[in-house]
Chain A
Amino acid sequence: RKEVEQDPGPFNVPEGATVAFNCTYSNSASQSFFWYRQDCRKEPKLLMSVYSSGNEDGRFTAQLNRASQYISLLIRDSKLSDSATYLCVVISARINFGNEKLTFGTGTRLTIIP
């Protein structure tokens, strides 16, 4: 079983709609959680961190459910520019002190349709 699992999509959503992605992780000792965005043939970029209390950044809301070991991302009022691959990312419990390597899901591809 992969450490971080996501539905690869694609999700094709009309402009203005609300879209939600979920991601599950297998290591219950995981410490930190993020959503990264990756445009076609570009590098991943941090979209937002995910906290247990939930956090919001404009049209984007991220939630963490530690009991069920899943992370969600909600995008409201979607724009054409939101078209990208969204990567769920986890930092697992430290095996080697100081190494905060990122473990990525496969990514969910989102296309916003005009």
Chain B
Amino acid sequence: GAGVSQTPSNKVTEKGKYVELRCDPISGHTALYWYRQSLGQGPEFLIYFQGTGAADDSGLPNDRFFAVRPEGSVSTLKIQRTERGDSAVYLCASSLTAAGRNEQFFGPGTRLTVL
């Protein structure tokens, strides 16, 4: 079946602009995660959804970052007033439920470049 998909695959924007990154999880997966990976680093947790609600947003770096999952499936990560330091690969993952024994499947990521 289809895996996790993310769009766009690449996004180049200018400092100060607003961007939206989309994640389509695997059908039936209730848990959805956003991570950010900078060059030479492992992915870092941003936010986690169980169903429609953001159960843990402790990884969001500041209030310029926001994410939604209004119908419990597709999620959008929104970044306002982008800064050069936001440049990274944004990875989305989904799992059947949030329990640790369920594997998290990652999407291919969106590579964001802020000029």
Contact = CB atoms under 8 A, between A and B. Distances in A.
Contact of B45 (A8, A43, A102, A105): A102
B59 A101 contact: yes
Contact of B48 (A8, A44, A99): A99
B108 A42 contact: yes
Is chain B's interface secondary structure helix, strand, loop, or mixed overall?
A: loop
Nearest to A32: B100
Interface in A73-114: 87, 89, 91, 95-96, 98-107
Contacts of A4: 42
Contact of A99 (B55, B106, B109): B55
Given A100-B99, A103-B45, A107-B42, A45 B56 contact: no
B44 interface: yes
A46 interface: yes
Nearest to B42: A104
A96 B47 CA distance: 12
A105 B33 contact: no
A98 B98 contact: yes
A65 interface: no
A44 B56 contact: no
Nearest to A99: B56
Contacts of B35: 102, 104
Q: Report the 5 A-B pairs with minimum CB-CB distance, sorted nearest first.
A: A104-B42, A43-B106, A100-B100, A98-B98, A101-B45
